[in-house]
């Protein structure tokens, strides 16, 4: 019987679609192996109103799957597929990101309620209600479009879209990641793609990250065949930038990155105050060939943001977060 590799995933439609991408990519390289997807509900799927990135010191989205990664029982798995943007910059000591795969469209998009004819942010009436729970999205939009209202919306993509279409809820539109919609065949919901200077996307958005045990050399050799090197360099720089700014709290950081075929990496990044009035913006362009160079570029971008006042903006955001809890 041929060897079976077990791929862990959360249960949402998007998570399973992403695990299937990794399974298919691996199968193309290793046709003699079987790849099986194992789904598991995580605390994050059930708790929808807590701080989204951490709960009792553990990652809300990954702990249950990480338990299967270290387990030696019949339930054990070999890897976990994540949206890279949901993976904390610091993982528990026994795990690592074994590979980052090719990135889908990383941009955020506008999804307007289907019975409304508006095609873009600039067409929306002034009192429009924008559904998002992301500080990054809200702060950037408030800066450019102070006339809009913002209302929190939670749940997975399908839940959010259902809330948008329910007139009782009062949303005019949502801001979502293009990649999530495209991967579950809901690209036709997209009304407008957003980019700088309206909305810069989240670190790692659109890329898939595969988590494995640090000492699992076998699975690492499989992943070495499917990693995308340019995406790895871009996302390494973005994650280094975020890590440098974090100090234990998630930060509402926007990025927009491109890498040319000859390795010139360009990253624009911003941190905006929640009310949209203060902004720190930094942009760098340099040749990056190694992960170490990507890490350095991320740190330099963080330094650029800090010299623009990002530290004060972030302190204020973290203070507000603490006083809400």
The binding track of 177-206 with respect to ligand PBG, each residue x by CB under 6 A or -, is x-xx------------------------xx
CB of 134 to ligand PBG, least distance (A): 7
80-119 residues near ligand PBG, rule: CB under 6 A:
83, 85-86
CA neighbours closer than 13 Å in the CB half-sphere of residue 112: 15
98 versus 180: smaller Cβ distance to ligand PBG:
180
115 near 164, Cβ under 8 Å? no
List of residues 6+ apart from 277 with CB closer than 8 A:
143
Of 99, 2, 82, nearest to 42 (Cα)?
82
Q: Are 96 and 212 in contact (CB under 8 A)?
A: yes
Secondary structure of residue 308 in the 3-state scheme: coil
> Mask of contacts with ligand PBG, 25-64, x by CB under 6 A?
----------------------------------------
Strand order in the sheet with 253-259: 253-259, 264-272, 279-287
Strand (E) or helix (H) holding 39: strand 34-39
Binding mask 139-168 for ligand PBG (x = CB under 6 A): ------------------x-----------
Closest to ligand PBG by CB, 104 vs 259, is 104
Question: Which of 192, 205 has the CB closer to ligand PBG?
Answer: 205
Active site residue 86: yes
Count CA within 13 A, CB hemisphere, residue 300: 15
Q: Are 94 and 214 in contact (CB under 8 A)?
A: yes
| Region near ligand PBG per CB under 6 A, out of 72-80, 175-183, 214-222, 267-275 | 175-183
Q: Which is nearer to ligand PBG, 151 or 299 (CB)?
A: 151
Helix (H, G, I), strand (E, B) or coil at 259: strand
Question: 158 — phi, psi (to 5°)?
Answer: -65, -40
Q: Which two tokens stand for residue 153?
A: 């919306």
Q: Looking at beta carbons only, is 62 or 205 nearer to ligand PBG?
A: 205
Q: Is 176 in the site for ligand PBG (CB under 6 A)?
A: yes
User: Of residues 32, 45, 86, 320, which has the active-site annotation?
Assistant: 86
Contacts with ligand PBG by CB under 6 A lie at: 83, 85-86, 157, 176-177, 179-180, 205-206
Q: Which residues are catalytic?
A: 86
């Amino acid at each position: 019987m041929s060897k079976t590799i077990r791929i862990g995933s959360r249960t949402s439609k998007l998570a399973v679609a992403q695990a299937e991408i990794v399974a298919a990519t691996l199968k193309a390289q290793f046709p003699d192996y079987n790849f099986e997807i194992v789904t598991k509900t995580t605390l994050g799927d059930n708790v929808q109103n807590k701080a989204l990135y951490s709960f009792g010191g553990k990652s809300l989205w990954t702990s249950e799957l990480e338990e299967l990664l270290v387990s030696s029982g019949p339930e054990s798995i070999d890897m976990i597929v994540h949206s890279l943007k949901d993976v904390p910059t610091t993982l528990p000591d026994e795990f690592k990101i074994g590979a980052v795969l090719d990135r889908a469209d990383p941009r955020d998009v506008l999804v307007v309620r289907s019975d409304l004819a508006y095609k873009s942010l600039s067409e929306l009436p002034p009192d429009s209600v924008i559904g998002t729970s992301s500080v990054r999205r809200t702060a950037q939009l408030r800066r450019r479009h102070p006339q809009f209202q913002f209302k929190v919306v939670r749940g997975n993509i399908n839940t959010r879209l259902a809330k948008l279409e329910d007139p009782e809820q009062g949303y005019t539109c949502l801001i979502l990641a293009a990649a999530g919609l495209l991967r579950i065949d809901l690209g036709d919901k997209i009304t407008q793609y957003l980019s700088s200077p309206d909305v810069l996307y989240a670190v790692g958005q659109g890329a898939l990250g595969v988590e494995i045990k640090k000492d699992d050399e076998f699975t690492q050799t499989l992943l070495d065949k499917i990693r995308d090197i340019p995406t790895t360099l871009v996302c390494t720089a973005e994650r280094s930038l975020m890590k440098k700014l974090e100090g234990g709290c998630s930060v509402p950081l926007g990025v927009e990155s491109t890498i040319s075929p000859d390795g010139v990496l360009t990253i624009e990044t911003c941190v905006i105050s929640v009310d949209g009035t203060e902004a720190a913006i930094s942009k760098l362009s340099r040749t990056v060939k190694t992960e170490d160079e990507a890490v350095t570029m991320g740190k330099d971008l963080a330094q650029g943001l800090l010299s623009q006042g990002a530290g004060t903006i972030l302190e204020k955001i973290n203070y507000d977060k603490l006083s809400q809890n």
